[in-house]
Amino acid sequence: MESGKLAIIGGGKLGSALAEGMIRAGLIAEYRIHITRRNAELLKPLADKGLITGSDNIAAVKDASIVLLAVKPWQVEEVLGSLVDSLAPSAVIISLAAGVSLKKLQEASGDRFTVFRAIPNTAVAVCESVTAVCSVNASEGDIKLVGSLFSGLGIVEFIPEDKINAATVLASCGTAFALRYIRAAVEAGVEIGLSPETAVNMVAQTVKGAASLLLDGDAHPEAEIDKVTTPGGVTIAGLNAMEHAGFSSSIILGINAAFRKTENK
């Protein structure tokens, strides 16, 4: 088996975003990446960047040390079952599909391979994802391998499988929640006189900077808020107006509503 081969089965939005992130992270120097899609012509931009593309899943997984399943959840078991006999004995299988349990992955693979579930978000394309990962019966070497792969694409959190839905809501759905705040702030910025372009740049960088204060330091969000809320100042006036309108409670309610949806599927 060629240890430097990696297969991405399913070059749709998530699979392509993952591939873009791997290119940006320089993983094409470490792995020979083969990505597939039914209509392989749609993968031409990735082929132009050095990836092997095509529609033949069997050819993609041949000799691959890592196989990432980026197909729709209802396709995972069928696709994996069709690949089992073509996989290298020591191949590591990573499913990116929400809702497909490790037990189902083990059954579909004949319980012959190390399987992982990984839930990245769309920021994987720019190497800024949060990827939640869980596994069963994985060796320390396999865990290190998968952790190394996704750490190049952002932050990795290894968690128990029963916390995957919560992680999906907070990190994957959370991307949309954060962008909705950005959109609202941009609209407000335009209302108070800034151009849309200026407002987008300022709000996006402000959110990025606020996140960096937490990721690069060891502070609680409220401690950083305290640094910019002077007595009688404009910041506290704005925060109080938002809270009176239900800002924090609406976020908590939204996250809980999304979580309940995952539990009811």
Binding-site residues from annotation for NADP(+): 9-14, 70-73
Task: Give which of 66, 65, 41, 69 is closest to 53, Cα–Cα.
Answer: 41
Buried b (16+ CB within 10 A) or exposed e, 121-149: bbbbbebbbbbbbbbeebeeebbebbeeb
- The values of phi and psi at residue 117, to 5°, are -115, 135
Q: Residue ranges for the binding site for NADPH?
A: 57
C-alpha span between 192 and 231 (Å, rounded):
23
The two tokens of residue 107 are 């059954």
Residue 18 per-residue DSSP state:
H
Rounded to the nearest 10°, the torsion over CA 17, 19, 24, 29 is: 170
- Which residues define the annotated binding site? 9-14, 57, 70-73
CA distance linking residue 185 with residue 242, whole number of Å = 12
Distances (CA, A) of 159 to 119, 135, 244, 252: 11, 9, 36, 22
